[in-house]
Amino acid sequence: MSPVIGVLAIQGDVREHARCLEQLDVDVRLVKTAEQLKDIAGLVIPGGESTTMSILAVKNNLFGPLRELRTQIPMYGSCAGLIMLANSISDGRADQETIGGLSITAKRNAFGRQVDSFEIDLHIPAIGEPDYHAVFIRAPLVEAASSAVEVLAAIPAGKSLTGTDQVVAVRQDNLMATSFHPEITSDLRIHKYFVDMVRSA
């Protein structure tokens, strides 16, 4: 039986994530309420605006159930989703709440505003060759991570103007997150990696 994977549908590029997942032979459910979280085997938190997503999750009483669920099933967040899964945020609103779970500090809009959004090829060992074409839109960065966090991908020092590695994809137990948006490309390897996590959970 195919597992049911939820996509948090408060706001953002929900449809693009759903389309990627459907191609990987799972059933997709769009989630707007706590009831819709029941019996899902995994949850994707899409790209969007993390401030808005967080405010609307508070207003719709979703943080309680989401925090409970993150200890039970795999979750994957892209861009705004990475911020939602981070234990702490820098450069966000002081009152911005998150689901948490990843022992990282996420820096919002770390690369600048929309004019600084970019595309770049990344080497990601966990998904194999060839390099992955990653799209960053007003993207966050993993500014700090505990030793419990596995780094899946970084923009190498040679390509980043800061001269240091910039961490853009992480995993910690059942949770994974990327600064970039695999859902708006046609390369399904990141989603496949997550679906494999769900299937083996």
Binding site for other proteins (CB under 8 A): 9-16, 32, 47-49, 51-52, 55-56, 59-60, 79-80, 91-93, 107-120, 135-138, 141, 155, 159-162, 166, 181, 184-185
Q: Which residues contact 62 (CB under 8 A, 6 or more apart)?
A: 10, 33, 34
* 181 noted as active-site residue: yes
Nearer to other proteins, 71 or 112 (CB): 112
Is 191 known to be catalytic?
no
Paired sense of beta strands 141-145 and 102-107, if any: antiparallel
- All residues at 6 or more sequence positions from 190 whose CB lies less than 8 Å from its CB, including other chains: 124, 127, 132, 169, 178, 182
- Residue with Cβ nearer other proteins (33 or 71): 33
Per the annotation, the verdict on 183 as an active-site residue is yes
CB closer to other proteins out of 68 and 119 = 119
Active-site entry in 17, 79, 143, 191: 79
* Angstrom distance (rounded) from CA 82 to CA 140: 8
Question: Closest approach of Cβ 44 to other proteins, in Å?
Answer: 14
DSSP SS3 for 101: coil
The catalytic site residues sit at 79, 181, 183
